Structure 1
């Protein structure tokens, strides 16, 4: 009997870690394609939006980055509801398939010089497809991880954030190597396509792995609803508003990190390779630190960790940017990026576990997908554009800190409401 129980336990552990692998590799590749676009915004601006003015061209490119986020709420509704009806596994395989199609378009798309106005229009179409796919990814991936071991929800859900850290590392390594080793002409000609091609080649592996994992026990034991979207709005409006507020800081901080290579090159005059190297450190902190934070959130509570991280970001971000602007060198940039990486990880790694506890199983993916993607669409997708606009309008290079301080205040209020109204710790 003991041998049977031991075998069952090992099989259960193997099942859980297969689920972690399936979710993490697919989620990393989903986000890799999105992050790479942001990292290579300056190059893409010249190739697809040659407006005759570098600033206007960059704003158009960052605007296109944000346009795809309009599709995220739709993806959240369609794929999130599909996950609550048909299962988390089905939604995860659908989302990565759509992302692969959008990425394939970008890999082979001719530039403005070759096909004229069709180039930016097709690029927008590909970005819209990627946005729709990503809209269903967060909720499906988080539910899939959180529901395998409910008593360790924070730890396993945090691997979703760790995989995004892996995404940042991979994208930044590509950015650092390509900008450091290739000539400007090579980078403009073909170099910028390399990371997109990498994502496209690895995509089928992730699709295969996701197609061969089991559904979550918690979903299988629950009674599915036929109308998860209607049920979410009918019975969980307050929870949805609180969840949106909690996500705001996580998404603004994440996309500020994404914007840092562009900011470092355009505003600080630092080499692109240095900027990408600093981002690699941030991604490594997120990748390694997320499971630790997730484990701590299971032991001592999630809201306390997140409140502390949010308060520190509110207080420290302006002095950090002021220091960076006053001393724009590699050492200062790395120090600021490391500090941001630690604080963002302390907040973001506990977030998936907390969100999964806000909504019941029957509407969990729909609720999380909506909350996450509404916040990301409004505050994150246009974050780089808003930051670039703030810098231009205020004439202050520390302007990015204003946006993060605003986000911290919003999320501090939402976290307090989660503790007071929902009783979450």
Structure 2
């Protein structure tokens, strides 16, 4: 029996709640990597070496994200979006819960970081297929003129995941250091099992996307979607991957690296930084909605260009403000960084839906997004830590952010010129006043 069409409210819940849970799972690892994993799982050597080792494990999850994007994207283009969304949630949720149960280096020696690495690989693999599926199950239910708005449902999950993960760590950050290192850090990971149950219930009620159903009915499902993607659209994949760098580049600089840099170099207390990052999610969430509305009205590609340009502009002011050691200045730095991410996030879901054909869209959107995430998210905390250790200044880090953002801006402009796929033409031809 075929399920009735999914309502807009159900799509919002399935995309937003699901991605919120998965990004909560992902970001608590990043927070823990910056705060405690260097001490608990890599205790030998100086503090900088321990932090780099922990951030290296954090980065490994990003390396698995393009792999997960390719594998899960393959099956998402072959058998459907909904099934893969349930799978990604299960992979991420179970691995996150298991991290909260891990014994530390002091208890089992080198086996502890190896198990942590294994669970991080599973977590990264699951997240690799999450964003593409969550975006597509929403945008493929939407009219072309509301694709960015529907795509933003999944994008809300990123700042909400940051918000909830920081709330979880803020709740235990005030514990004495001995208690925090002993058991307090585990609580955010163990709580993820409750969120997993909620997400599974919500996503199990979804119907398959209408566009994928049409691909199946027309017998256009490809046997090897990833191979077809790279044979037919290699330039688009490359440019979209470069264009996808700035959101995680800015995001992980603030959400992960600043937790280490802000305490050691700028003199902030750990709970203060967590609170400031938490507050920055408010303009981030609001900005996604505004940017999505603008993207549907004036074009998702144009709005994304504006977002990448602001990432270039904000690279130096972000660090200048934090380096003052002033709480109001740091709040401004993080809040504007949230808006920078929001401009791109509001447009990205609708834009990536337009530039890839439906039969290879899960693979294309996922691989491009996760490759950009690997470059912008995995490398940034490590490179930033190494640069500061080498130069003792935030200037080289800001230069790094500026150059990557500028490269992404160039790729975005080239991508807009080179893409004119069926989805893009459909969006351009659709009447602006049409409503679902």
- Given the two structures, how large is their TM-score scaled by the length of structure 2? 0.91
Counterpart contact for 1:356–1:364, Cα < 8 Å: yes
Counterpart contact for 2:69–2:128, Cα < 8 Å: yes
Of 72, 82, 99 in structure 2, the residue corresponding to residue 89 of structure 1 is: 82
2:130 corresponds in structure 1 to 137
1:421 corresponds in structure 2 to 418
Tell me whether 390-399 or 142-151 shows the greater mean CA deviation: 390-399
Alignment pair present for 1:21 and 2:13: yes
Counterpart contact for 2:250–2:311, Cα < 8 Å: no
Of 293, 296, 305 in structure 1, the residue corresponding to residue 294 of structure 2 is: 296
Alignment of 1:53-64 (within 5 A): 53-64=46-57
Counterpart contact for 2:251–2:337, Cα < 8 Å: no
For residues 409 and 95 of structure 1, the distance between their equivalents in structure 2, rounded to whole angstroms, comes to 32
Alignment pair present for 1:385 and 2:385: no
Of 99, 112, 123 in structure 2, the residue corresponding to residue 106 of structure 1 is: 99
Deviations 1:290-345 (A, max 9, x none): 122111100111222222232233123213312331x1121111111111111111
Alignment pair present for 1:218 and 2:211: yes
Alignment of 1:165-314 (within 5 A): 165-180=159-174, 182-222=175-215, 223-259=220-256, 260-314=258-312
Counterpart contact for 1:88–1:215, Cα < 8 Å: yes
Alignment of 1:287-366 (within 5 A): 287-325=285-323, 327-366=324-363
CA change 1:94–1:316 in 2 (3 A) is: closer
For residues 256 and 341 of structure 1, the distance between their equivalents in structure 2, rounded to whole angstroms, comes to 11
For residues 250 and 63 of structure 1, the distance between their equivalents in structure 2, rounded to whole angstroms, comes to 20
For residues 108 and 403 of structure 1, the distance between their equivalents in structure 2, rounded to whole angstroms, comes to 37
Of 117, 123, 131 in structure 1, the residue corresponding to residue 116 of structure 2 is: 123
For residues 143 and 65 of structure 1, the distance between their equivalents in structure 2, rounded to whole angstroms, comes to 27
More helix by share: 1
Two-structure CA RMSD over aligned residues (Å): 1.6
For residues 88 and 50 of structure 2, the distance between their equivalents in structure 1, rounded to whole angstroms, comes to 30
Counterpart contact for 2:318–2:334, Cα < 8 Å: no
For residues 11 and 303 of structure 2, the distance between their equivalents in structure 1, rounded to whole angstroms, comes to 26
Counterpart contact for 2:65–2:124, Cα < 8 Å: yes
For residues 70 and 344 of structure 2, the distance between their equivalents in structure 1, rounded to whole angstroms, comes to 26
Gaps (5+ residues) in structure 1?
1-10
For residues 413 and 15 of structure 1, the distance between their equivalents in structure 2, rounded to whole angstroms, comes to 38
Counterpart contact for 2:69–2:370, Cα < 8 Å: yes
1:156 corresponds in structure 2 to 150
Counterpart contact for 2:97–2:191, Cα < 8 Å: no
1:401 corresponds in structure 2 to 398
- Given the two structures, how large is their TM-score scaled by the length of structure 1? 0.93
For residues 57 and 41 of structure 2, the distance between their equivalents in structure 1, rounded to whole angstroms, comes to 11
Deviations 1:132-180 (A, max 9, x none): 1011111111111111103210001012111111111111112222213
Deviations 1:99-128 (A, max 9, x none): 122112201111111111110000000000
2:433 corresponds in structure 1 to none
For residues 419 and 72 of structure 1, the distance between their equivalents in structure 2, rounded to whole angstroms, comes to 25
Deviations 1:362-391 (A, max 9, x none): 000000111112222233212211111111
Gaps (5+ residues) in structure 2?
429-436
What SS does the corresponding residue of 1:226 show, helix, strand or coil?
Answer: coil
Runs of 4+ in 1 over 6 A off after TM superposition: none
Of 26, 46, 51 in structure 2, the residue corresponding to residue 34 of structure 1 is: 26
